[in-house]
């Protein structure tokens, strides 16, 4: 069975689709059995494409994208092995929705996977900013990818038959 990762931001048009497509690129490149998607805590942009500035930032960095925004639903916790929030507010909202402690344990902040992130683990919302703000988000997303991929590889290895996972 595939390992399943979702990214969650506010409206699912800037940060979370950017992280989704960067991780998709890496897991496809490595041939990892990982399903990746994203959603938002709010419903403001449900059904919309990713913000054009997100698409442009992805393209500048060499990534493809295709996206329709959606809102995270409380019933989805069982779908995912890892739920990655883009800032502390998203993490709080997800933890409040989680049905139990096991589900809350699957929620992490993206920048937790960046050893150089420092004490502020929030990825700032670029929505009201310009190109530089979207490029900063891209830098932060890319900086977290090695650690996130390491976490995913370890989980996949643990799930291999004969590797002791009951």
Task: Give tens-digit pLDDT for 83-132.
Answer: 999 999 999 999 999 999 999 999 999 999 999 999 999 999 999 999 99
Active site residue 116: no
What's the CA gap between 126 and 133, in Å, rounded? Answer: 5
87 annotated active-site: no
pLDDT digits (tens, 9 = 90+) for 3-32: 999 999 999 999 999 999 999 999 999 999
3-state secondary structure of 153: helix
pLDDT digits (tens, 9 = 90+) for 41-93: 999 999 999 999 999 999 999 999 999 999 999 999 999 999 999 999 999 99
Domains (range + CATH), the chain: 3-159 (3.40.50.2300)
Which residues neighbour 166 within 8 Å (Cβ) at sequence distance 6 or greater?
Answer: none
pTM of the model: 0.95
Catalytic residue among 14, 15, 87, 114: 15
Q: Which of 49, 81, 125, 133 is catalytic?
A: 125
pLDDT for the residue 160: 85
Determine how many CB atoms are found less than 10 A away from the CB of residue 15.
Answer: 33
């Amino acid at each position: 069975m595939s390992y399943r990762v979702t990214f969650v931001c506010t409206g699912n048009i800037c940060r979370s689709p950017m992280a989704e497509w960067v991780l998709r690129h890496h897991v496809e490149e490595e041939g990892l059995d990982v399903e990746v998607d994203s959603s938002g805590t709010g419903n403001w942009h449900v059904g919309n494409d990713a913000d054009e500035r997100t698409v442009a930032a992805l393209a500048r960095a060499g990534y493809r994208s295709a996206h329709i925004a959606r809102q995270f639903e409380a019933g989805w916790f069982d779908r995912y092995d890892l739920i990655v929030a883009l800032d502390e507010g998203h993490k709080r909202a997800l933890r409040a929705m989680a049905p139990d402690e096991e589900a809350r344990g699957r929620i992490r902040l993206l920048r937790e996977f960046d050893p150089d992130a420092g004490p502020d683990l929030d990825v700032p919302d670029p929505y009201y900013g310009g190109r530089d703000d979207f490029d900063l988000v891209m830098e932060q997303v890319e900086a977290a990818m090695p650690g996130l991929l390491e976490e995913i590889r370890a989980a996949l290895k643990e799930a291999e038959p004969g590797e002791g996972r009951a």
